[in-house]
Amino acid sequence: MVHIFLKNLVKKWKAGIIIPLSLGLFVLLIAAIWPDMREAADLFAVILESPVYAAMLGDMGIFNIAVWPGAHQMYMSIMLEYYIIAVTIFIPTKIITEEINKKTLDVTLSYPIPRWRFLLEKFSVYLFYSLLYPLLLMLFTFISTEYLQYNYAHLNVEFDYLALTYSMIGTWMLFFSLGAIALFCSVLILDPRKALGVSATVIFGMFLLFRIGDMTESVEIIKYFSVFNYMNFAAIVSSGTFPVGDFFVLLGVGLAALIGALLIFQKRELKY
């Protein structure tokens, strides 16, 4: 029985596809302007050294946009994190709060559906559409690279797809574990507005923790408490290795939050 999953898969297809697609399509745009952009690489290097960008992009904000992977990495480092933050705050939280807002739980849960299962199937829809981020990004990266190699053969464009694959697995893991945390917050709070507030505070708070810890050596330790510290896109791409430890940290945190959410929702009172 996967009817809840299928129903929600169909119901959410538009947002489910459009959001990752919008992130992916921009890769093509970057590829299109990159040949011109690289002319101004020296100027960019200066800009990127400014403290404002350092704060936005963290330590790894030093990109060599003279080469295509550098430009690609710059785009991904900026946009991906913001997408992850926005998506994981809003979408997993809405899994339950939307039902509460619209008062649809009373009818649905009067059918013999275990509550945990209802929640898990809906969360799986989110996980499924989250897969589109890595898949579409890889697809558009591939198309972009092919395009550049074909049209700008003299630039000797190369791309490390293995590192990209590693980092995309990391991206999906971040969607999983942050999403599970947001889900946990929402079933704990239930009240739609409060739940959104708490999810936003927790997720954005973790992001800040990571950024501050990453920039400030004296408090570096705090970044380890942030999910964003693990399987970080830029770190994987620059090292080119798969961080096994990080993977298990995210898996563990995500599973713990997810199981916690399922248990709470199974037991808790539906009072609103």
Partner 1 sequence: MTQATVLQVSNLTKVYGREIHLGLRKFGKKIIGAQNVSFSVSKGEIFGFLGPNGAGKTTVMRSILNYLRIEEGEISVFGLDHRKNSLEIRKRIGYIPGDLAVYDNFTGEELIKYFNHFRQNNLELLEELRTIFTVNLKQKTRTLSSGNRQQVGIILALASKPEFLILDEPSSGLDPLITAKFHKLLKRLKKEGVTIFLSSHDLTEVQAICDRVGIIKNGEMVLVEDVENLRKKFLQHVFVRFSSSKVPQLEEIKELDFVLDANQKNNGDFKLKIKENIDDLINWLKGYEIERLSIEDASLEEIFLHYYD
* Sites of contact with partner 1 (CB under 8 A): 1, 3, 7, 11, 102-104, 106-107, 109-114, 268-271
Considering beta carbons, is residue 1 or 221 the nearer one to partner 1?
A: 1
Considering beta carbons, is residue 51 or 112 the nearer one to partner 1?
A: 112
Considering beta carbons, is residue 33 or 270 the nearer one to partner 1?
A: 270
Give 19's contacts (C-beta < 8 A, 6+ positions apart). Answer: 83, 87, 129
- Do residues 47 and 53 make contact, with C-beta atoms less than 8 angstroms apart? yes
Shortest CB 114 distance to partner 1, Å: 6
- Residue 178: CB atoms within 10 Å: 28
Q: Write out the two tokens for 215.
A: 């920039």
- Do residues 23 and 83 make contact, with C-beta atoms less than 8 angstroms apart? yes
Shortest CB 24 distance to partner 1, Å: 27
Shortest CB 259 distance to partner 1, Å: 19
- Residue 147: CB atoms within 10 Å: 14
102 burial level (CB within 10 Å; 0-12, 13-18, 19+): exposed
Considering beta carbons, is residue 3 or 154 the nearer one to partner 1?
A: 3
User: Which segments of 102-158 does DSSP mark as H helices, in order?
Assistant: 105-108, 115-130, 132-151
Considering beta carbons, is residue 14 or 154 the nearer one to partner 1?
A: 14
Shortest CB 120 distance to partner 1, Å: 15
Q: On the CB side of 177, how many CA atoms lie within 13 Å of its CA?
A: 22
- Residue 139: CB atoms within 10 Å: 13
Distance between CA atoms of residues 58 and 212, nearest Å: 9
Shortest CB 130 distance to partner 1, Å: 22
Shortest CB 187 distance to partner 1, Å: 14
Considering beta carbons, is residue 161 or 272 the nearer one to partner 1?
A: 272
Considering beta carbons, is residue 110 or 218 the nearer one to partner 1?
A: 110
Place of tokens 């499924």: 128
Shortest CB 99 distance to partner 1, Å: 9
